[in-house]
Amino acid sequence: MSEAHSSPSPQSHFDCDEILVHLARLSLSGRDQDVATYLQRVARRLRVTSPETAAALTTVLREAPTRTSPLRSTSAAPMPVDGDSRLPLLRIDTKGLGLQEPILDQHTQRILHQIIDERRHGIRLLEAGLAPSRAALFVGPPGVGKTMAAQWIAAQLGLPLAVLDLSSVMSSLLGKTGINLRYAFDYAKQSECVLLLDELDAIGKRRGDEGDVGELKRLVTVLLQQVDDWPDGAGLILGATNHPELLDAAVWRRFDLMVPFASPNADLRRAAIARFAAGHFGDTAVDLLALSTEGSSFNDLERRVMTIRRNAVIHEQDPDRVAIDSLAELRHAPLNERLAFAQRLHEHGGFSQRQINSLTGVSRDTLRKHIKTAG
């Protein structure tokens, strides 16, 4: 644990000599971020006993040049690497630049905007004795937009996205994995960045899992310590997992926000298909694809749309015709799947019985009986 957390707390009492000595120690050791964090804590407490001093400290923190540098460590600290493989422990992801806002349900969108707003108004929160959320956990199945959301948030904040590379961090020598994790966090703490812990369940598994060796269990403890030591004035931690049930309960508690990412419903699938089609599909093709892809992820949808568009170009055919023809395979699907698709087409209201029969092979009488039984 860093000295900033084990030091005399300004929230319990104010011994000016102790505070001065501790600030000197932090400053002389080159730990600028810890200095800023400690000063934030002092300022929050001084709001009650000495508001003018608190306001002055807040102004100093607001005007500190390190708070707006895009990636301070590029000139102050080299990218950390694994001691044996020499592979970087982090990679800087710039794919969020120019990225459109991810297509997500309203609840998830609201939380993402809350994260961005808190960061953009960090000084206002500081002046009120508050701090923005330090860490958010993205939870959901693969391909539903967790990584894209992290890229978009970083771009909206004007910060680099530093992604923890688990293939490098998980050293073949288990004793070094914890060291690698510390190096990666130390680098991110010194940088103005968004740190993405992708596949968090790989390093944050429940410590009660008897299948894991002791070193992997200790890795969870290292992770918890690093998140605990994350300075208030540093960047943002984002964790992402496809398997929340594997995470240690203590890991959950370290995250201020839990952000759910669900498989897209028909409306979201329709919006995503229209975006991926980029104007090449008409409404009928978009509707048919949206109604026929229940359970698909955004990644699945993008792959399907791009395959259709490529086929249309290669064979010089109308993209709408290729999209509709791609549904022909549904006629060979199990009856329960064809019935479910036929019912969705019927409920949509834009397709005749003849079209439904042509697409699904389900007759009008069979569909009517199915709807009556299901109802």
For 144, the 3-state DSSP assignment is coil
Give the DSSP H or E segment for 137: strand 135-139
- For residues 93 and 34, membership in a common domain is answered with no
Report the pLDDT value the prediction gives residue 232, as an integer from 0 to 100.
Answer: 76
Q: What percent of the chain has pLDDT over 90?
A: 41
Query: Could you tell me which residues come within 8 angstroms of residue 146 by beta carbon, excluding any fewer than 6 positions away?
Result: 138, 140, 240, 261
- CATH assignment at residue 110: 3.40.50.300
Q: Is the pLDDT of residue 114 over 70?
A: yes
Residue that finishes a domain, picked among 237, 260, 283? 260
- For residues 153 and 247, membership in a common domain is answered with yes
Band the pLDDT of 65: cuts 50, 70, 90. Answer: very low
- For residues 310 and 356, membership in a common domain is answered with yes
Better pLDDT: 348 or 143: 143
> What's the chain's average pLDDT?
83
Report the pLDDT value the prediction gives residue 350, as an integer from 0 to 100.
Answer: 76
- For residues 283 and 218, membership in a common domain is answered with no
State the total domains in the chain.
3
- For residues 175 and 198, membership in a common domain is answered with yes
Q: Is the pLDDT of residue 5 over 70?
A: no
- For residues 97 and 155, membership in a common domain is answered with yes
Measured between alpha carbons, how far is 194 from 92 in angstroms, rounded to an integer? 10
Band the pLDDT of 140: cuts 50, 70, 90. Answer: very high
Other beta carbons less than 10 A from residue 11's beta carbon: 10
Band the pLDDT of 2: cuts 50, 70, 90. Answer: very low
Residue 49: which domain range? 3-67
Measured between alpha carbons, how far is 238 from 220 in angstroms, rounded to an integer? 16
Query: Highest-confidence range of 32-46, 206-220, 266-280, by mean pLDDT?
Result: 266-280
Burial (CB < 10 A; 0-12, 13-18, 19+), residue 48, is exposed
Instruction: Annotate 225-286 with DSSP letters as a single string.
Output: HHHHT--TTS-EEEEEES-GGGB-HHHHHT-SEEEE-PPP-HHHHHHHHHHHHTT-S-HHHH
- For residues 187 and 165, membership in a common domain is answered with yes
pTM of the model as a whole: 0.74
Average pLDDT over residues 209-223: 69
User: What are the structure tokens assigned to 341, written together?
Assistant: 């698709």
Measured between alpha carbons, how far is 284 from 220 in angstroms, rounded to an integer? 50
- For residues 217 and 112, membership in a common domain is answered with yes
Report the pLDDT value the prediction gives residue 73, as an integer from 0 to 100.
Answer: 41
Do 208 and 167 meet the contact criterion of CB atoms below 8 Å apart? Answer: no
Do 338 and 327 meet the contact criterion of CB atoms below 8 Å apart? Answer: no
Q: Is the pLDDT of residue 152 over 90?
A: yes
Q: Is the pLDDT of residue 1 over 70?
A: no
Measured between alpha carbons, how far is 266 from 269 in angstroms, rounded to an integer? 5
- For residues 233 and 162, membership in a common domain is answered with yes
- For residues 349 and 221, membership in a common domain is answered with no
Q: Is the pLDDT of residue 358 over 80?
A: yes
Q: Is the pLDDT of residue 260 over 50?
A: yes
Better pLDDT: 333 or 37: 333
Residue that finishes a domain, picked among 217, 245, 260? 260
Residue that finishes a domain, picked among 67, 91, 112? 67
Better pLDDT: 131 or 62: 131
Do 125 and 278 meet the contact criterion of CB atoms below 8 Å apart? Answer: no
Report the pLDDT value the prediction gives residue 184, as an integer from 0 to 100.
Answer: 92
- For residues 101 and 155, membership in a common domain is answered with yes
Q: pLDDT of 229-251, one tens digit each? A: 998 778 999 999 999 998 888 99
